[in-house]
Amino acid sequence: MNKTAFLFDKIFQEHDTGMGHPERSERLLAINDKLKSTSYYNDFIQVEKSIGDSKYIELIHERGYIERVKNEIEGGETYLDSMDTVVCTRSFEVALYAVGGSLEMCDTIMSGKADNGFCAVRPPGHHAEKGYAAGFCIFNNIAISAKYLQSVYNIERIAIVDWDVHHGNGTQHSFDEDDSIYYISLHQYPHYPGTGSSNEIGIGKGKGYTLNFPMMAGSGDEEYQKAFDERIIPELEGFKPEILLISAGFDAHASDPLSSINLSTEMYYRFTRLLMGVANNYSENRVIGFLEGGYNLSALGDGVEMVMKAFIEG
């Protein structure tokens, strides 16, 4: 069995998006309550929350953007850049904790204290661009973590697999010209945010290190399994990542209210097992999941349980 780390803290519930918003604090409670019902919950290595250092956030985001987010939230703004990204007075602090906790998870994995881990943090991150907030996201937790791993641990090759139903525009754009970070996304298309066509493959020296799978509405287990079997796993095996990061959204589930993709709960177990096979061969079993979307509370809790079950089994 693997040593699996888990990041969850009540601080992440303090990002209040208001009544009726799909990205709400109850999401984390649904995850934690589901995992608490398992036989292995007490075996998790608990990762502590931590405030993210701005020098690491600036590896992805412009300093002016970070300052603007702080100032606008402290000034009483109720959303950032679009009506989607609702904020409250604590949102800047909570977003810093989301980054810091994610980096603590990186340290936990790289130190060997755990083989793999899952960051149940909010606000999520993969839509956040260098200079603006988008799609419920403020800071791009997974992109910052990737640059942190490179700058602190000299990791040369990182793979990011994004199975959230929405394309991770912020993450892709962070690494468009980077051949050391391979970004792979499966997502409903056309759908928010409108990016992620199959001809987006990277720019300059990063050409060939972005791989998008635009999925038609109504796609399900069969289409996703085919993408993993025929392209994603072979591409990852060719790339030989030293660590594998997952933008783990659960909004491609058949019961999610924000999408028209029809994945079963079981597929999240299968995805994770397949990626762990790659990690076993090339990454010393190092895999980190970062919570992105997932708005049906029951499906969200069940999906995360599938990931953690696979993580624990090794």
Instruction: Name, in order, each residue with C-beta under 8 angstroms of 120's C-beta and a sequence gap of 6 or more.
Output: 6, 7, 8, 12, 28, 31, 32, 291, 304
Dihedrals phi, psi of 140, to nearest 5 degrees = -85, 90
In contact, 191 and 220? CB cutoff 8 Å = no
> Known catalytic residues?
127
Q: How far apart are CA 288 and CA 149, in angstroms?
A: 12
Q: What is the residue whose two structure tokens read 């591409």?
A: 235
Instruction: Name, in order, each residue with C-beta under 8 angstroms of 137's C-beta and a sequence gap of 6 or more.
Output: 85, 123, 124, 125, 126, 127, 128, 170
Residue 215: CB atoms within 10 A of its CB come to: 24
